[in-house]
Amino acid sequence: MIRASFALALSLAALAADAQQAAPARSVAPTDCPECPAIALVPPGAFTLGTPPDAREVDPRTGESRPLFVTLGRPYYVSAREITVGEFRRFTEATGYSPPAGCRVWLGGQWVFDRERSWRDPGFAQPPADDDPVVCVSWEDARAYAQWLAERSGRGYRLPSETEWEYVARGGTSFARFWGADDSHEGTVISLACDFANVYDASAVEAHRFPYPHANCSDGHATAAPVARRKPNAFGAYDVIGNVREWLADCYTASYEGRPADGRAWTWQGGCEQRVVRGGSWASRPGVARAAARDAEAAGHRQSDLGFRVARDFD
């Protein structure tokens, strides 16, 4: 829950009976360098990370419960959109960075590793456009991109922490999805999901036939959609839920016990086997495309529904 002393628009968003009607209070800063993405200012605040164990939608296996009350004492920035193919291409051309080919893709009714696929060609029906989110990138690739932005701009670019990400994803609300408290997607006749998020919906059923429920709406995209085509939340973040899953800075743990309660990433020396992934994607069943849902992948993993956005320190 956002403290009353914080921005009025965020309080209105939290109190609105329908988050779709809350007027977004967005603050997008000028880019820090010609190659830098547009960034949105996130105010300080306090909220509950995770999901109560008695909530209607909770997956206790992933460690989202028991929840943890967290205070973020300083503002920070996040990229308003997921990092795009065009932005990642500028990074590779400027640095010579060349991720190896090979990416896990949905093929023949299962996820398989395809040695020919890469961020340049993730195996979609159409080649990716510059404004599509970059996918088939590993955690190391995402971190390298953020470090390059830091060098180019002289600013503190990095991957968001898990706590920072969920705070942004909630968009000033305590809802499972910032656009409404009760839109479970899988149990509604008509879902609002397609107005705000690209998840597995009626548009994708024929193309993929995933073995789980789809959202009862249609957004016209069977795979990743161009960024910022849907409505943002009150923090000015587009596609923070859905479209592509997003790499985060944290090592993955099975619970929040011991996690820093101030928003810092939870990491340790020597690295970790898995990194946190959040947000759901075009391939996600609607039930897991929500602010508190957690996932994890090995740091070297590349998949055609997995990308990232960046954060930047406030200075």
Contact 134, 84 (CB under 8 A): yes
Overall domain count for the chain: 1
Contact 135, 294 (CB under 8 A): no
1 assigned to some structural domain: no
2 assigned to some structural domain: no
Supply the pLDDT for residue 253. 94
Supply the pLDDT for residue 270. 82
83 assigned to some structural domain: yes
Supply the pLDDT for residue 6. 34
Supply the pLDDT for residue 24. 41
Token pair belonging to 307: 């990308």
Secondary structure E strands in 203-314: 245-251, 274-278, 294-298, 306-307, 311-313
Which pTM does this prediction carry? 0.89
Q: What is the mean pLDDT of the chain?
A: 88
CATH number at residue 136: 3.90.1580.10
Supply the pLDDT for residue 20. 35
Supply the pLDDT for residue 287. 87
Phi, psi of 56 (to 5 degrees): -65, -40
239 sits in the region (left: phi over 0; alpha: psi -120 to 50; else beta) called: left
Q: 10-23 in b/e burial notation, b at 16+ Cβ within 10 A?
A: bbbbbebeebeebe
- β-strand partners of 152: none
Residue span of the structural domain in which 23 resides? 8-313
Query: What is the rounded CA–CA span in Å between residue 224 and residue 238?
Result: 13
Query: What is the rounded CA–CA span in Å between residue 277 and residue 313?
Result: 21
DSSP state at residue 201: B
257 assigned to some structural domain: yes
Among 292, 11, 1, 19, CA closest to 181 = 19
Supply the pLDDT for residue 57. 87
Query: What is the rounded CA–CA span in Å between residue 90 and residue 66?
Result: 42
| CB atoms closer than 10 angstroms to residue 59 | 16
3 assigned to some structural domain: no
Flag residues of the chain having pLDDT under 50. 1-25, 189
Supply the pLDDT for residue 28. 55
Supply the pLDDT for residue 13. 35
Query: What is the rounded CA–CA span in Å between residue 188 and residue 186?
Result: 6
